[in-house]
Amino acid sequence: MTFTPAESAYLREQSIGRLATIGPAGDPQIRPVGVHLGPDGTTIDIVGHALSRTQKWRNVIRDPQVAFIVDTVISVQPPTARGIEIRGIGTALPGAGSTEGGLSGDIIRITPRRIVAWGLDSPGTTARDVTDDETNTP
């Protein structure tokens, strides 16, 4: 199990996250993207209307190290938030997805290596490494 039930539920109810990739000069680049669990529920799939023509696509091909974050501020006083950060490996998959709604059919699939979550399974922060067995990676 890659994601806990609370993490999976949270990811399914969110629509926007932020994808961080490494740019050509080694600098981080971050972009808003839609949140989609992969078909088996162990990965995150990034889709778009012209995904293979974006900088994030080129960045992932050059350096597959990525981070993805989704968070929500619940209240300012007292400060309360919940969210999840997924650090992992991004894979560019041309034509592997749906073209419904004008999507390109291209996917950046994030295979988690480390998951940091707060306010989901417990009031505090939890962090764990993900093994290849959990993500069904050979």
Q: 10: domain range?
A: 5-129
Is there a domain that residue 42 lies in? yes
Residue 135 resides in a domain: no
Question: Is residue 118, in this structure, part of any structural domain at all?
Answer: yes
Query: Domain holding 18: CATH number?
Result: 2.30.110.10
Position 20 in a domain? yes
Predicted local confidence at residue 138, as pLDDT: 46
Question: What pLDDT tens digit does each residue of the chain (138 aa) get?
Answer: 799 999 999 999 998 999 999 999 999 999 999 889 999 999 999 988 889 999 999 999 999 999 999 999 988 788 789 999 999 999 999 878 777 777 778 999 999 999 999 999 888 899 999 987 655 554
Q: DSSP letters of 81-128?
A: EEEEEEEEEEEEETT-S--GGG--S-EEEEEEEEEEEESSSSSSEEEE
Whether residue 134 is contained in a domain is answered as no
* Predicted local confidence at residue 95, as pLDDT: 79
Structural domain includes residue 95? yes
Burial letters for 98-126: b for 16+ Cβ neighbours within 10 Å, e otherwise? eeeeebbbbbbbbbbbebebbbbeeeeee
Domain assignment present for 71: yes
Residue 120, in any domain of the structure:
yes
Q: Structural domain tally of the chain?
A: 1
